[in-house]
Amino acid sequence: MNPSPEKFFYSGTRKEITEHAAALIIAEAYRAVADHGRFSLVLAGGNSPRPLYRHLAQGVSIELLQHYELKVPDCDLKSNGKILSLPENTWLFQGDERCVPSDHPDSNFRMVHETLLLQSGIPENHFFRMPTDKANTEKGAREYEATIRNFFLASASIDEQEFPLFDLIVLGLGDDGHTASLFAGNTEALQEKTKWVVAVSAPEAKPPGKRLTLTLPAINHARNVMFFTTGAPKAELAKKIFLEETGPLPAALVSPVNGKLFWFSDHQ
Ligand code: 6PG
């Protein structure tokens, strides 16, 4: 485990955590673009992030950024009424995906497309979809890793341990403490030290089946990692994980090497 990262826990109503998380992501996007010309954002699947992605697509007001004391470089925060959307140079990736067709109700791509892509104006070619239509899921994992590698090699944004430096990764939390498609029962995937993307079988997942997922090293080298989780049972688990009061659940193994860790959890 990495030494404890700089970490923050925010709880509130679903509306409050959604607004706050969206504002933080957009502020970080402008900081990343000002710093290195682009913003790389990894999106969680499942259902919890739906309101967050819809809010990102709408953009956030200057007042909201000011309310959460979030600075945005080169932006006149006094221009009240102004709405800030994700900057043009935003690039989207998936943290994990179920191996189903992209129009399947269980497809994370379909959920992201409906809630964010269609409304946000982000060009389709700025979204790198996990290739889950391959009969050989390992081939899909290797292909997606190559996609990420090409993206980061173009700007030498790979740290000395050869891992991608995503600007921000959004993760969800399962009732059993899984995150992305890293499940406690899959020690091989959890112990992966070099690959960035792996194919897993998740018979106990909801929905069960084959999946592609980022690995812990790929997640833990991000500049920022954000758990966004809703619902009472998870609120308690989220707090326990944050306080390091659980065993080595997959979500508890998320500990950014050099980045910051944010938890957003609504209380019931
Ligand atoms: C997936 C997710 C997964 C999800 C959690 C929580 O593809 O299933 O990435 O890790 O975030 O299972 O799912 P809900 O947000 O639907 O509760």
Ligand 1 atom closest to 98 (CA): 7
Which ligand 1 atom lies nearest to the CA of residue 97? 7
Write out residues with Cβ below 6 Å of ligand 1.
44-48, 95-96, 98, 108, 172-174, 178-181
pLDDT beyond 90 at 157: no
Sheet holding 209-214, edge to edge: 96-98, 209-214, 197-202
The tens digit of pLDDT for each residue in 176-214 reads 999 999 999 999 999 999 999 999 999 888 899 999 999
Does the pLDDT at position 76 exceed 70? Answer: no
CATH number of 6-266: 3.40.50.1360
DSSP, collapsed to helix, strand or coil, labels residue 98 as strand
Tens digit of pLDDT for each residue in 120-131? 989 999 999 999
Q: Which pLDDT band holds residue 4 (cuts at 50, 70, 90)? A: confident
Over the stretch 99-120, which tens digit does the pLDDT of each residue have?
999 999 999 999 999 999 999 9
Question: Does residue 267 sit in helix, strand or coil?
Answer: coil
**Ligand 1, from 43, 99, 178, 211: best to mutate by most atoms within 8 Å of Cβ?**
178
What pLDDT shows up at residue 134? 73
Q: Hey, where are the domains in the chain?
A: 6-266
Ligand 1 pocket mutation pick from 18, 169, 179, 211 by most atoms within 8 angstroms of CB? 179
Which candidate, 223, 238, 252, 263, places its Cα nearest to that of 17? 263
Nearest ligand 1 atom, CA 95: 9
> Comparing 68-77, 162-171, 225-234, which segment has the lowest mean pLDDT?
68-77
pLDDT at 29 (0 to 100): 97
The atom of ligand 1 lying closest to the CA of 171 is: 11
Nearest CA to ligand 1 atom 13: 46
Dist. CA 41–CA 253, nearest whole Å:
20
Atom of ligand 1 at shortest range from CA of 211: 7
**pLDDT reading at 81 higher than 80:** no
Binned at pLDDT 50, 70 and 90, residue 79 comes out as low
The pTM assigned to this predicted structure is: 0.96
Note the pLDDT of residue 199: 97
pLDDT at 267: 79
Ligand 1 pocket: which of 96, 170, 216 to mutate (most atoms <8 Å of CB)? 96
Q: Mind listing the pLDDT tens digit for each residue in 203-245?
A: 888 899 999 999 999 999 999 999 999 998 899 999 999 999 9
| Pairing of the two strands 6-12 and 260-266 | parallel
Would you say residue 3 has pLDDT above 70? no
CB atoms within 10 A of CB 37: 10
**For position 51, what pLDDT does the model report?**
98
Mean pLDDT, the chain, whole residue set:
93
Hey, whose CA ends up nearest to atom 8 of ligand 1? 46
